[in-house]
């Protein structure tokens, strides 16, 4: 049972800013002609302040809309990355990636050379792992350039990034000796940023 007066009632009144500006403008014009000449400079000043405030509100509104549109675009780009990751054409890579992660997780004591040998036994296996790591590298680059929304991506990709990097770090670092020092550096930086 609720007490009398315990419910909150709110009334919202939509304001059409165009009509508000028209009413204020007409009021200032009528007042300008209705008052004594001595008061007109003060009224002109008030009108200038009102016009300046209206311009400022408009500018702030436009900036806010642009910021909101940019955020929406970055979230949309992040969702597009989710779709690409879950694309049926990428399923085979993910299945092979799961096999590699399972092997590396179960056999933590095997050397990095044994892990590389496991990857080289089947060129498809190595290629699929490179494809996965490339996608995660591209994610990191997109995040660094603010192309996608980081919080949205983090909610979806954080576990994936942390697991792939932690299980493949020694392999990637060994591969850098052949491929160059920049190999998956952006992915490594993303791992460092997201691991905490």
Q: Return the percentage of the chain with pLDDT > 90, whole number.
A: 58
C-alpha closest to that of 171 among 188, 159, 158, 154: 188
Q: Is 94 in the same domain as 159?
A: yes
Domain-located, residue 126:
yes
pLDDT tens track for 104-147: 998 877 899 999 999 999 999 999 999 999 999 999 999 999 99
Domain-located, residue 2:
no
* Rounded Cα gap, residues 141 and 119, in angstroms: 26
Q: Is 62 in the same domain as 116?
A: no
Q: What radius of gyration do the chain's Cα atoms show?
A: 30
Q: Is 139 in the same domain as 184?
A: yes
Q: Which domain holds residue 56?
A: 17-69
Q: Is 100 in the same domain as 50?
A: no
User: For the stretch 38-66, what's the b/e string if a residue is b when 16 or more beta carbons lie within 10 angstroms of its beta carbon?
Assistant: eeeeeeeeebeeeeeeeeeeeeeeeeeee
Report yes or no on whether pTM surpasses 0.75: no
Domain-located, residue 142:
yes
Domain count, the chain: 2
* Rounded Cα gap, residues 144 and 11, in angstroms: 44
Q: Is 91 in the same domain as 181?
A: yes
């Amino acid at each position: 049972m609720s007490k009398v007066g315990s419910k909150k009632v709110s009334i919202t009144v939509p304001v059409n800013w165009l009509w508000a500006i028209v009413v204020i403008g007409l009021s200032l014009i009528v007042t300008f002609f209705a008052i004594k000449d001595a008061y007109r400079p003060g009224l002109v000043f008030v009108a200038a302040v009102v016009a300046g405030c209206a311009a400022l509100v408009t500018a702030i509104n436009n900036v806010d809309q642009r910021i909101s549109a940019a955020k929406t675009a970055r979230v949309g780009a992040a969702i597009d990355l989710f779709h690409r990751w879950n694309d049926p054409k990428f399923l085979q890579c993910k299945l092979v990636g799961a096999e590699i992660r399972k092997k590396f997780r179960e056999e933590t004591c095997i050397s990095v050379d044994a892990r590389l040998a496991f990857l080289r036994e089947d060129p498809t296996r190595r290629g699929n792992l490179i494809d996965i790591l490339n996608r995660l590298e591209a994610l990191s680059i997109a995040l660094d350039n603010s192309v996608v929304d980081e919080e949205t991506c983090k909610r979806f990709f954080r576990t994936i990034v942390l697991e792939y990097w932690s299980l493949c770090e020694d392999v990637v670092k060994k591969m850098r000796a052949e491929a160059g020092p920049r190999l998956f550096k952006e992915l490594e930086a993303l791992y460092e940023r997201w691991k905490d």
